[in-house]
Homo-oligomer: A and B are copies of this chain.
Amino acid sequence: MTERDVPSGLTASIPTPEKGDPRLARLSLNQRTTAEWSLREAIDGAVAAGLPALGVWREPLAEVGLATAAEWIADSGLRVSTICRGGFFTVIDPAARRLAHDENLRAIEEAATLGAPTLVLVPGGLPEGSKDLEGARSRAVEAIAALAPEAAAAGVVLGIEPMNPIFAADRGVVSTLGQALDIALQFAPEEVGVIVDTFHLWWEPGIEAQIARAGAAGRILSYQVCDWITPLPADTLLSRGMMGDGHIDFPAFTRAVAAAGYDGDVEVEIFNAEVWAAPGAEVVATMARRYAELVEPWL
């Protein structure tokens, strides 16, 4: 993650874009990329790097409380691109489903209070002991239906995040953009849309057509970028790489997202033990450099 650590095909000498560089105008630091940073540190780090936006996670938010977080963020001038994350509503037990619904209502409230246009929904996996994937998918749709009017009333759009099938069993039963969009289109655009994440979707057959379809319907709520690296790290949850370190064609993917009309923030969201072990400011600098080289020119 240092200047010297540059994969072949990338420019080693590209300078880190500095504060005020127009290429940073849409770059958002998803808090998960600098997981060791508190919300305060993430705000300060994003501002110091000249980033205009932050993808806020609920756990570091809870550490300081919503009122304080809202004040800090307002003072910082940062946009909150998304709140991560709601969802996890594939449970079967009625009491657990009510708990999940209530938790998502709190997440919607947080998004509304912080001015985040979107709450990212990670559907959840198969409940313990269940092998009924169709059932889990159906319950996810039901849970979204129950939340959609509440979200719309709060001015927050629910963003279904289709997840790489590697997570279908234990994290996200919605596996393709096509599938996520089929669900989203059952609702109004001000209620439900989709999250387009390169790590999750880069392999999807016909992905460009699905991105175009999502854009035409006004359903792309967030564009999130990170790379697919091999060999896959042992902990698959931490298997995401810095853009340029893996196999994804970011220019091609980004062109498709731009052609679909998406003009919002671009979040860099990297779950990776090595990235997390590096100093936050260094990670943000690397991420800004890679973004400026591999993503921004094609937006």
Chain A residues proximal to chain B, CB less than 8 Å: 8-9, 126, 129, 131-133, 137, 164-166, 168-170, 175-176, 178-179, 202-205, 228, 230-232, 234-236, 246-249, 252
Q: Are B8 and A249 in contact, CB atoms less than 8 angstroms apart?
A: no
- CB-CB < 8 A to A232: which residues of B? 166, 236
Can you name 8 extra interface pairs (CB under 8 A) apart from A131-B252, A175-B205? Answer: A8-B129, A133-B203, A164-B165, A164-B166, A165-B204, A169-B247, A231-B235, A232-B236
A131 contacts which chain B residues (CB < 8 A)? Answer: 247-249, 252
Could you say which of A178, A179, A228 has the most chain B C-beta atoms within 10 Å of its C-beta?
A228
Residue of B whose beta carbon sits closest to that of A247:
B169
Which chain B residues border A169 with CB–CB below 8 Å?
Answer: 203, 228, 230, 246-247
Residues of chain B with a CB closer than 8 A to A176's CB: 205
25 pairs from A and B in contact (CB 8 Å cutoff): A8-B129, A9-B129, A126-B247, A131-B248, A131-B249, A132-B249, A133-B249, A137-B205, A164-B165, A165-B203, A166-B166, A166-B232, A168-B203, A168-B228, A169-B228, A169-B230, A169-B246, A169-B247, A170-B230, A175-B203, A175-B205, A176-B205, A179-B205, A231-B236, A232-B236
Inter-chain contacts of A246 with B (CB < 8 A) = 169
Instruction: Determine the chain B residues whose CB is within 8 A of the CB of A203 once the complex forms.
Output: 133, 165, 168-169, 175
Q: How far is the CB of A41 from chain B (nearest CB, A)?
A: 30
> What's the minimum C-beta distance from A195 to chain B, rounded to whole angstroms?
17
Chain B contacts for A234, CB-based, 8 A: 234
Within the complex, what minimum Cβ distance (angstroms) separates A249 from chain B? 4
* Bound complex: CA A164 to CA B205 (Å): 12
Residues in B with CB closer than 8 Å to A165 are 164-166, 203-204
A236 CA to B235 CA in the complex, in Å?
11
Chain B residues lying within 8 Å of A175, measured Cβ to Cβ, are 203-205
| Alpha-carbon separation in the docked complex, A178 to B234 (Å) | 30
The docked-state distance in angstroms from the alpha carbon of A247 to that of B127 is: 10
CA distance A248 to B166 in the complex (A): 13
Q: In the assembly, what is the distance between CA of A205 and CA of B202, in Å?
A: 16
Q: How far is the CA of A204 from the CA of B247 in the complex (A)?
A: 22
Residues of chain B lying within 8 A (CB to CB) of residue A179: 205
A175's nearest neighbour on chain B, judged by CB, is B203
Which of A132, A164, A165 has the most B CB atoms < 10 Å from its CB?
Answer: A165
Q: Smallest Cβ distance from A186 to chain B, in angstroms?
A: 15
Known: A164-B165, A169-B246, A247-B169. A205 touches B230 (CB 8 A): no
